[in-house]
Structure 1
Amino acid sequence: MSHVVLIGMMGAGKTTVGRLVARRLGRPFHDSDEAVEARTGRTIAELFAEGGEPAFRAVEAEVLRDLLATEEPAVIAAAGGTVLDAGSRAALRDAGTVVWLRAEPALLAERARTGDHRPLVAEDPAGMVARLAGERSGLYQQTAHVVVDVDQLDADEVAEQVIAAVEEGAR
């Protein structure tokens, strides 16, 4: 048994779905953004403000590697930008089943408007989400073992599809 890792853009539902999947599979759940904040004692917005995106991405990659190295099979919600690092993409694919929660940019932008923990989209959520989705979709595609389109589904339905895909892959 290996990890189940959820990837995708901010607002795709990785944390919400990840918690549901972990509960249903009886596994621990880890959110890489939460792990970054716990390790550094700072919010993601603070990390961006203090060191910029490159410094944040370095910490993000280190935390992800540590989460993937845990022996107990877990469900992991990987930060949206995790796929930007080639080493992280390879580590993800080797660690278990990678599921891309794919959503249309309009839905992502609507969800990204809430909260203050998304510094990349603070100024122009719709424009920035569309740009980031365009830049990252190919990386998500090459990293994922499975794609689940989330636009017309609620969190429970997405979780069911993720579990079905993981169980199918285990056969």
Structure 2
Amino acid sequence: MKIMNNIVLIGFMGVGKGAVARELSKLSGRFAIDGDDMIESLFNKKISKIFEDEGEEAFRDAEKNLAKFLEHNVKGAIISTGGGFYRQRNLKKIGTIIYLKSSFAKIMERLQSAPNSAKKLAKRPLLKDLEKAKKLHKERNSAYARKADIIIIAEDKSPKKIAKEILKALKGQK
């Protein structure tokens, strides 16, 4: 892995991409960037409110613009992305793609056992209907795997342990 290459974390919503990015940042000294936070800044509102006020299409357009920005302007960072960001056509140009894989049940268990679980669930509009979300998880799993340079099983592991596994896997790619 080139030192200037970004590390891009993909995976289903709630899998822990943001927490893993923060741990990777501590371990590597790289800046961690949260794609959803950047989109919230652009709209000056939370993602759930963007979906409510502007619609999912406006959010997906913002993701496209974010992908272009990241490709052309960000080097050497750790980027945690939203669950649907994997669809960006230029994803491979942004950096090394790491898929954090977990079952739907374990993701829900993780979210529901978090100290701020109500907030974590509320900020994910696509988790409002659990049956639809479960179906979406199943549909996306193979797409995430196809896009990934590295797949890390994230179930029942701390963000720190996952971050260490990612760094080890990246060293093995050289």
TM-score norm. by structure 2 comes to 0.87
The percent identity for this pair of structures is 28
1:156 aligns with 2:155: no
| SS of alignment partner, residue 76 of structure 2 | coil
* Distance (Å, rounded) in 1 between the aligned partners of 2:97 and 2:75: 16
Aligned to 2:141: 137
Greater CA deviation, 142-151 or 59-68? Answer: 59-68
Cα distance, 1:135 vs structure 2: 1.5
Cα distance, 1:64 vs structure 2: 2.8
| SS of alignment partner, residue 79 of structure 1 | coil
Aligned to 1:168: 172
1:30 aligns with 2:4: no
Does the CA-based 8 Å contact 1:109-1:129 persist in structure 2?
A: no
Aligned to 1:118: 124
Cα distance, 1:164 vs structure 2: 1.0
Does the CA-based 8 Å contact 2:17-2:80 persist in structure 1?
A: yes
| RMSD over equivalenced CA pairs, Å | 1.5
Describe the shift of the 1:128–1:107 C-alpha distance in structure 2 as closer, same or farther (beyond 3 A): farther
Aligned to 2:90: 91
* Distance (Å, rounded) in 1 between the aligned partners of 2:133 and 2:74: 34
1:15 aligns with 2:18: yes
* Distance (Å, rounded) in 2 between the aligned partners of 1:53 and 1:104: 24
Cα distance, 1:8 vs structure 2: 0.2
Name stretches of at least 5 consecutive residues in structure 2 with no aligned partner: none
TM-score norm. by structure 1 comes to 0.89
* Distance (Å, rounded) in 2 between the aligned partners of 1:140 and 1:120: 17
| SS of alignment partner, residue 80 of structure 1 | coil
Greater CA deviation, 73-82 or 110-119? Answer: 110-119
User: Could you tell me which amino acid in structure 1 is paired with residue 91 of structure 2?
Assistant: L
Runs of 4+ aligned residues of structure 1 deviating over 4 Å after TM superposition are none
Name stretches of at least 5 consecutive residues in structure 1 with no aligned partner: none
